[in-house]
Structure 1
């Protein structure tokens, strides 16, 4: 089965300290964690825990990452001192860069510089480099087998997919099934549907939740796939759309990591989604 982890954001008030978060993560046996920067306090707090960690680079910092000397220094100061004790496995460079023209043009060159810096310290095979994209990079996701990337992003997706394949890095995507609630039931969004919500007419796959459908859409966009697998939620349908979109680009074996997902904790009705 796939790995399940937690995103640890720090853009809020009255947050627990990194040490308290580390204790909480260990208490609940969480083995995978993503942070959005390379905060040394967080990196230290996770030392000797065995927790696999994804660190991040903000979009605002991508311009600095165009310079190899800067990236070499960042890896030397922000990654290397903590690597032995803290299990850093991935670096996410930027986030949803296709939503920002400036960030979109800077992401892949920055990623290449990060890989080059990792090679200089012998970590290129131990730490994977990628960038989380929004589900909006798909022009079509329903049915999932028709999943395809939006051609308007080809200037980014082409070099990005080539980079990921070249470095055996994962395709990262943020999925939020609740955005599809206008077209589906709440149970389908919350993994509670007792029966299929729809069947993909091209594959015969049955879905009960949006998450799986969205994720499959990405898989099929990366790599053509036909089988008798059965799914029971919208997350599966989204995922299948990604699978097909990757399939259409001949990236059938590319690993996919869902870097963000979640559901609102409170709202007054579907209109607030």
Structure 2
């Protein structure tokens, strides 16, 4: 039975990945902060699909939590989904520095360390890979969140080239607006987002898995967001920054 490790596994995109992978017959290593939710999820997947489920209660914003997850990743998994993350409202100068540093640890350091722990075994066995959940925000300059997700995309593309031909694959996943707990936890006002731009988490994950199996380097599973990301890549940096700042002022 192949094994998948999913961080941020009890809600949103992480939970959607766990549901889909359990249905596909993967054993699971579920990583999140809430032990009770982890236990409920594990019981659900065991009962519904008969798969082996491990839980790891860990806060990846802390050294202890990150080290524990890193150690488990290094013991070997067939698929690593680096999904844990959070957002912030407000401008950089108006947020607490500890929150900014915590975001960099979860979005960047955790992705780097868990990938570094898990990927060598995948390369050695000639199979498996890593899905690093970034965001369409990676293509638009908007504070630490966008900057950290841009790093995830670049890091993933670089690693994909490094392991090309090994049988292992690394993919960045760049969702748009997805209906999850993410925005509520981050205290974001999403009232200005049109209904047509919201994505379903299970459909997003199904498309992401298809892209991963096809060897896509950067998955943007929706035509509207593909166009938006393409626009972000093509616009001059100064204009891109002005548009991003304007959008942020409306939705912060």
Q: TM-score range by the shorter chain?
A: 0.3 to 0.5
Q: Taking structure 2 as the reference length, what is the TM-score of the superposition? A: 0.42
Instruction: Kindly indicate whether structure 1 or structure 2 has the higher relative contact order, using CA contacts under 8 Å at least 6 residues apart.
Output: 2
**Which structure's CA Rg is the greater one?**
1
Q: Taking structure 1 as the reference length, what is the TM-score of the superposition? A: 0.40
Q: Which has the higher helix share?
A: 2
